[in-house]
């Protein structure tokens, strides 16, 4: 398993590597041109209340744009009050289901939930040895969030001795970590790091220890130990009773992100952000009469009516190296828009925005249509600055607007729920509104002084940090950024900061490919050093 999952090990950044080759969804032999979908197989228990277990896993993967097949290990009777019954399936049935899916359906990532006996753990490990997959995510379901114990001592031993050595990441909560470690008491973040290191010794390549139950903490603090560093990942603590299934959902979302090509850290951050948004969106949801309700995994599908939709397949990691065009600059260097776009894609740009302030509408639409074709062939999204009409006309992937452009809620009504909306923000208040209005990401700047945009207030690194720390959306930094200072921007290390957006550093230069490559390698260096 270890060799097979090398792609997902912590030091690599597969999504960025894949982007420059074939888009994941189109990968396949020359003969088979059918579209592939990232595929997660969940091996877990059924939850009759559908807040957790297999049902949660399928919804979480669907929300992330991944296909989710399922092997049911047990049928539980549970609702928002408690778990009333657990009925394990025979090991032969689990083995048959595993064989059916793994032998046929090109699974990328296996995610485990409730494994009711050591026998089922053994069946699973044998199946994974027979049908290897790219990554294994283990959510060691032992104690439900409501406190009910779901597993025996011999099963815990099965986790320790058989399954964890094959896992790429294991995601215990405090009680599960304590159970794995024979009752160790976990009270502080320092205890969590110690426990994560101990669990790492059982063999998983990464340990995400979830501190949601940590006493006396206003934030939700998780720690991620990768064998070298113990990263503290802070999130918002959402006040709600609707938290049933949070653990299953987080692990499935991590699995889906891995299946899409993210690194472990990227996958964990994207999954945490998704769960946080789902909890926030569902905080007043009324399902059931018990103390712990489910939340709405698919909130993004219906958010259009409620002004807070997100593009289901928008990947925040695309903001890594954001190229924003400028017709004046490209003209000066004798390049067309399409040549400029092709060059920055060759250099490894991960998202493109056409910001053509002087273009006549007809020329703009024609150029945008050609650029979209090119971007499609690289699997890179193309956005249009300000001009919703141009974005609609050429069916671009989205629109970027500023504070004095068309309001985000109106843009959303016009372009629909499936498109990306970026919005420029200089303050935490802007960031909060961008999220509430249904934007997908924030462009924050000017971080440094720039000649590209007149009369633009510079917010500095401190302003950028303030926006990132308050933002629920991913952020890209913009303004005066280039090879000389991109490192200082990304080394701020603020969690929501996903990349840099640049104009002159790429397009006011003689060779766009060279400059894009240079900037990309700096960004990759920082990403590797901060993992
Ligand atoms: C990624 C990104 N961030 C910010 C901006 C600035 O947009 P806006 O405030 O609309 O200003 P103009 O680009 O219209 O001058 C951007 N374009 N892209
Ligand atoms: C469009 C925009 N918005 C804020 S700063 C800026 C200009 C960025 O251009 P450059 O990367 O050349 O500084």
For the question of residue 247 being annotated catalytic, the response is yes
Give the N- to C-terminal CA distance of the chain in Å, as an integer.
22
Tell me the mean pLDDT in the region 415-440.
Answer: 91
What band does 218 get if pLDDT is binned at 50, 70 and 90?
low
Q: Which carries the bigger pLDDT value, residue 334 or residue 233?
A: 334
Q: Is 444 close to ligand 2, i.e. is its CB under 6 Å away?
A: no
> What residue's CA is closest to ligand 2, atom 6?
479
What band does 217 get if pLDDT is binned at 50, 70 and 90?
low
Q: Which carries the bigger pLDDT value, residue 2 or residue 485?
A: 485
Distances (CA, A) of 119 to 88, 94, 324: 11, 10, 55
Q: Hey, what CATH class is 38-142+151-302 in?
A: alpha beta
Quick one: which ligand is closest to 385's CA? 1
Tell me the mean pLDDT in the region 244-260.
Answer: 95
Tokens coding 397? 């992937």
What is the share, in percent, of the chain residues with pLDDT greater than 90? 69
Quick one: which ligand is closest to 355's CA? 1
Please state the three-class secondary structure of 116-151 as a single string: CCHHHHHHHHHHHHHCCCCEEEECCCCECCCCCECC
Quick one: pLDDT at residue 143? 64
Taking alpha carbons only, the member of 103, 41, 51 closest to residue 72 is 41
Residue 176 has pLDDT above 80, yes or no: yes
Residue 412 has pLDDT above 90, yes or no: no
For the question of residue 197 being annotated catalytic, the response is no
Tokens coding 476? 């890209």
CA–CA separation, 167 vs 235, rounded Å?
25
pLDDT tens, 493-524? 999 999 999 999 999 999 999 999 999 999 99
Q: Is 49 close to ligand 2, i.e. is its CB under 6 Å away?
A: no
| Contact criterion met (CB below 8 Å) for 428 and 466 | yes
Distances (CA, A) of 342 to 23, 25, 98, 356: 16, 21, 44, 16
**Rg of the chain on CA atoms, in Å:** 23
Quick one: which ligand is closest to 420's CA? 1
Q: Is 323 close to ligand 2, i.e. is its CB under 6 Å away?
A: no
Quick one: pLDDT at residue 70? 98
- What's the full length of the chain, in residues? 531
Q: State in Å: Cα 508 to ligand 2 middle.
A: 12
What band does 36 get if pLDDT is binned at 50, 70 and 90?
confident
Sheet holding 83-88, edge to edge: 83-88, 67-78, 39-47, 109-112, 135-138, 169-170, 207-210, 219-225, 230-236
| 323, 359, 400, best to mutate for ligand 1 pocket (most atoms within 8 Å of CB) | 400
Q: Is 503 close to ligand 2, i.e. is its CB under 6 Å away?
A: yes
CA–CA separation, 25 vs 36, rounded Å?
5
Classify the phi-psi angles of 450: left when phi > 0, otherwise alpha if psi is within -120 to 50, otherwise beta: beta
Quick one: pLDDT at residue 148? 61
Quick one: pLDDT at residue 14? 32
Write down the residue that tokens 């969690």 correspond to. Answer: 495
Q: Which carries the bigger pLDDT value, residue 134 or residue 24?
A: 134
> What residue's CA is closest to ligand 1, atom 10?
402
| Contact criterion met (CB below 8 Å) for 350 and 381 | no
Q: Is 505 close to ligand 2, i.e. is its CB under 6 Å away?
A: yes
Domain boundaries, the chain: 38-142+151-302, 316-530
Ligand 1 surroundings by CB, under 6 angstroms: 322, 324, 353, 355, 385-386, 400-402, 405, 422, 424, 443, 445, 453, 476, 478, 501
pLDDT tens, 60-75? 999 999 999 999 999 9
Residue 26 has pLDDT above 80, yes or no: no
For the question of residue 342 being annotated catalytic, the response is no
pLDDT tens, 265-314? 889 988 887 888 788 778 888 988 988 899 889 876 654 344 333 344 68
Active-site entry in 59, 210, 272, 311:
210
| 344, 427, 452, best to mutate for ligand 2 pocket (most atoms within 8 Å of CB) | 452
Q: Hey, what CATH class is 316-530 in?
A: alpha beta
Quick one: which ligand is closest to 477's CA? 1
Active-site entry in 49, 119, 247, 445:
247
Quick one: pLDDT at residue 29? 46
What is the share, in percent, of the chain residues with pLDDT greater than 70? 88
For the question of residue 245 being annotated catalytic, the response is yes
| 385, 445, 464, 500, best to mutate for ligand 1 pocket (most atoms within 8 Å of CB) | 385
Could you tell me how far CA 293 lies from the centroid of its own chain? Answer: 24
| Contact criterion met (CB below 8 Å) for 404 and 369 | no
Angle at 51 between CA 45 and CA 56, to 5 degrees: 60
* Mean pLDDT computed over every residue of the chain: 88
Quick one: pLDDT at residue 302? 56
Tell me the mean pLDDT in the region 459-464.
Answer: 97
Quick one: pLDDT at residue 336? 93
pLDDT tens, 351-393? 999 999 989 999 999 999 999 999 988 889 999 999 999 999 9
For the question of residue 293 being annotated catalytic, the response is no
For the question of residue 210 being annotated catalytic, the response is yes
Q: State in Å: Cα 450 to ligand 2 middle.
A: 6
Residue 23 has pLDDT above 60, yes or no: no
Quick one: pLDDT at residue 346? 93
Query: Of the given ranges (9-18, 106-115, 217-226, 442-451), which has the lowest mean pLDDT?
Result: 9-18
Distances (CA, A) of 281 to 91, 131, 363: 39, 38, 41
| 399, 424, 474, best to mutate for ligand 1 pocket (most atoms within 8 Å of CB) | 424
> How many Cβ atoms from other residues are within 10 Å of residue 464's Cβ?
24
Query: Which ligand 1 atom minimizes the distance to the CA of 385?
Result: 17
Tokens coding 103? 């032998």
Residue 88 has pLDDT above 50, yes or no: yes
Q: Are strands 83-88 and 67-78 parallel, antiparallel or unpaired?
A: antiparallel
CA–CA separation, 452 vs 435, rounded Å?
27
What band does 158 get if pLDDT is binned at 50, 70 and 90?
very high
Tell me the mean pLDDT in the region 16-25.
Answer: 32
Tell me the mean pLDDT in the region 396-423.
Answer: 92
> What residue's CA is closest to ligand 2, atom 12?
504
Residue 2 has pLDDT above 70, yes or no: no
Distances (CA, A) of 507 to 19, 205, 328: 21, 41, 9
Quick one: pLDDT at residue 31? 52
Q: Which carries the bigger pLDDT value, residue 23 or residue 521?
A: 521
């Amino acid at each position: 398993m270890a060799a097979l999952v090398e792609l997902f090990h912590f030091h690599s950044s597969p999504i960025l590597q894949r982007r420059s080759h074939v888009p994941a969804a189109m990968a396949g032999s020359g003969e088979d041109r059918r579209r592939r979908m990232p595929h997660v197989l969940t091996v877990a228990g059924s939850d009759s209340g559908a807040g957790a277990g297999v049902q949660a896993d399928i919804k979480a993967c669907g929300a992330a744009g991944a296909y989710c097949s399922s092997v049911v290990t047990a049928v539980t009777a549970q609702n928002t009050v408690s778990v009333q019954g657990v009925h394990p399936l025979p090991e032969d049935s689990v083995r048959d289901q595993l064989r059916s899916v793994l032998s046929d359906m090109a699974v990328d990532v296996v995610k485990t939930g409730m494994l009711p006996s050591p026998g089922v753990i053994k069946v699973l490990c044998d199946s994974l040895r027979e049908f290897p997959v790219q990554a294994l995510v283990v959510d060691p379901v032992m104690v439900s969030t409501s406190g009910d114990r779901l597993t025996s001592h011999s099963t815990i031993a099965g986790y320790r001795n058989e399954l964890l050595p094959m896992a790429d990441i294991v995601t215990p909560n405090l009680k599960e970590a304590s159970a794995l470690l024979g009752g160790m008491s976990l009270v502080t973040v320092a205890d969590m790091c110690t426990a994560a290191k101990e669990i790492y010794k059982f063999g998983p390549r990464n340990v995400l220890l979830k501190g949601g139950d940590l006493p006396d903490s206003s934030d939700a603090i998780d720690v991620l130990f990768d064998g070298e560093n113990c990263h503290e990942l802070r999130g918002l603590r959402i006040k709600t009773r609707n938290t049933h299934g949070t653990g299953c959902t987080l692990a499935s979302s991590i699995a889906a992100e891995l299946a899409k090509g993210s690194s472990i850290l990227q996958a964990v951050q994207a999954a945490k952000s998704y769960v946080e948004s789902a909890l926030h969106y569902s905080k007043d949801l009324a399902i059931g009469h018990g103390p712990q309700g489910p939340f709405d995994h698919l909130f993004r599908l219906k958010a259009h009516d409620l002004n807070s939709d997100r593009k289901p397949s928008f990947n925040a990691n695309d903001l890594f190296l954001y190229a924003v065009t400028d017709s004046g600059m490209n003209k000066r260097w004798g390049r067309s828009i399409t040549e400029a776009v092709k060059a920055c894609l060759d250099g490894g740009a991960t998202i493109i925005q056409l910001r053509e302030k002087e273009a006549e509408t007809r020329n703009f639409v024609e150029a945008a249509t050609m650029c979209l074709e090119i971007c499609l062939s690289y699997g890179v999204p193309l956005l249009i600055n300000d001009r919703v009409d141009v974005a609609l006309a050429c069916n671009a992937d989205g629109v970027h607007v500023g504070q004095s452009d068309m309001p985000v809620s109106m843009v959303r009504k016009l372009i629909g729920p499936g498109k990306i909306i970026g919005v420029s923000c200089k303050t935490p208040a802007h960031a909060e509104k961008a999220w509430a209005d249904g934007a997908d990401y924030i462009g924050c700047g000017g971080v440094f002084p720039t000649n590209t945009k007149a009369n633009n207030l510079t917010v500095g690194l401190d302003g950028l940090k303030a926006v990132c720390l308050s933002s629920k959306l991913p952020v890209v930094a913009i303004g005066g950024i280039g090879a000389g200072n991109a490192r200082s921007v990304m080394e701020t290390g603020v969690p929501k900061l996903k990349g840099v957006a640049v104009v002159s550093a790429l397009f006011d230069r003689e060779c766009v490919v060279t400059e894009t490559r240079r900037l990309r390698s700096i960004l990759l260096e920082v990403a590797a050093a901060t993992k």
